[in-house]
Amino acid sequence: MKRIAIYPGSFDPITLGHVDIISRALPLFDELYICISNSSKKTYLFSLEERKQLLIDNFSDTKKVKTMVNAGLTVDAARSVDAKFIVRGIRTNMDAEYEKSMDVMNKALNNDIETIFLFANPTLSSISSSLVKEVALLKGDVSSFVPKNVAQALKTKMG
């Protein structure tokens, strides 16, 4: 039986922290779906298609990585690709508390899916998509926080 996992997030934009979690999760699974959230309640800098393309560009040489879009429950997205695992990255104690609550809820919705927590690399733990967007908006250099293609996309988007 294949070990399939999903890694959900908005990825607006993908950061080096995300890349690190994905890279570290890959050896654990046969397939890893990067599950892009798209909520009508949220405002995104990059469109769904732009976020998807940025992810594809970063992992085009990795056959185990696939992308998918999700507007519903994470457990339903996992079920749709036969994933038995959800990968989550933890940067801070606040993340840990939030993720613990999400894990309890996901278990109540589908007890067959296990959440795997990976702690952020300490050198990347302060990076968040929100902070990256703020730095880019203020014309700061984001090249040490995001992949090269994302830095270029941010520069183009912010003018």
Q: Which of 106, 125, 87, 66 is nearest to 9 (CA)?
A: 87
Catalytic residue among 2, 41, 42, 63: 42
Annotated active-site residue 42? The verdict is yes
Annotated active-site residue 129? The verdict is yes
H helices present in the chain, as ranges: 16-25, 48-59, 74-80, 93-109, 129-137, 148-158
Catalytic residue among 37, 51, 129, 133: 129
CA of 66: how far to CAs of 26, 45, 83, 140, in Å? 11, 22, 12, 31
Annotated active-site residue 88? The verdict is no
Catalytic residue among 51, 52, 88, 91: 91
In sequence order, the 6+-apart residues with CB closer than 8 A to the CB of 26 are 32, 62, 64, 65
Catalytic residue among 18, 51, 88, 133: 18
- The catalytic residue positions are 18, 42, 91, 129
